[in-house]
Amino acid sequence: MAKLFLLRHLKSQWNLENRFGGWTGNPLSKEGINQGRDIAEKLKSENLGLVYTSVLIRNQETVLRIFEHIPDKYPIFINLDGGRMQEWGNFTDLSNHDVTTYVTENLNERYYGELQGLNKEKTIKKYGEEKVRLWRRSYDIAPPGGETLEQVYERAVPFFREHVEKDLKAEKNVLVVASHNSLRAIVKYIEDISDEKIIDLELPFGALVKYEFNDGKYTKFA
């Protein structure tokens, strides 16, 4: 039996400033950095075999901040996109201290289009709370110039099934560190949440969702 851990990245600087991040690169805030130790305490005894994360700085920095507090474990980042993995070196003979960390755009946050960089409260005042909520949380309504959650699902879930589930079937414990909407898409798939109900799913900064994977089935645990 394997374990799957889904972690929303720690609080970033733009989260602190209440701005839409989307695909922009912004680092963790001091509060987010300090969260790393607490998450590490929850994970350090779990014998993590692999990590998957996105190309966004806040997600990769979350991985680094966690492993700062896990003794003798060091993430080795490998870009999976474009089939270029072997160009960067030989990754078949890593030590027991190295934790392979695969990076992919497929786990990026929803692309927020024209909203990226804008203050969320000011955006709500301009467009109305319900419209902004639909842009942010509904399944099939996109923000102006951005992605729907359905589009995020169509890139994140096939990647998850091809790579992460393969590792779970090989009985490896896997940590996925990603953004809110890519994780919401994956949870939708795992828990078979309907298109209508997914609007109610919220994962706070640093939320850690845990599943046991056995015989192709997921069981959530605390």
* pLDDT level of residue 89 (50, 70, 90 thresholds): low
Residue 84 is predicted with a pLDDT of 52
Query: What's the half-sphere exposure (Cβ side, CA atoms, 13 Å) at 180?
Result: 22
Tell me whether residue 109 is one of the annotated catalytic residues.
Answer: yes
Report pTM.
0.94
Tell me whether residue 97 is one of the annotated catalytic residues.
Answer: no
Residue 83 is predicted with a pLDDT of 55
Residues whose CB is less than 8 angstroms from the CB of residue 182 and which lie 6 or more positions away in sequence, other chains included: 54, 106, 107, 108, 109, 110, 152, 156
Residue 212 is predicted with a pLDDT of 98
Tell me the domains of the chain and their CATH numbers: 2-221 (3.40.50.1240)
Is the per-residue pLDDT at 17 higher than 60? yes
Is the per-residue pLDDT at 105 higher than 70? yes
Residue appearing with tokens 């923000």: 143
CA–CA dist 151, 148 (Å, integer): 5
Sheet holding 208-214, edge to edge: 74-79, 98-103, 50-53, 174-178, 2-8, 208-214, 217-221
CA–CA dist 182, 214 (Å, integer): 23
Task: Give strand ranges (E) for the chain.
Answer: 2-8, 50-53, 74-79, 98-103, 174-178, 208-214, 217-221
CA–CA dist 156, 138 (Å, integer): 16
Which residue in 109, 147, 163, 180 is the catalytic one?
Answer: 109
Q: 3-state class of 153 per DSSP?
A: helix
- 214 in Cβ contact with 4 (< 8 Å): no
Which residue in 9, 61, 147, 180 is the catalytic one?
Answer: 9
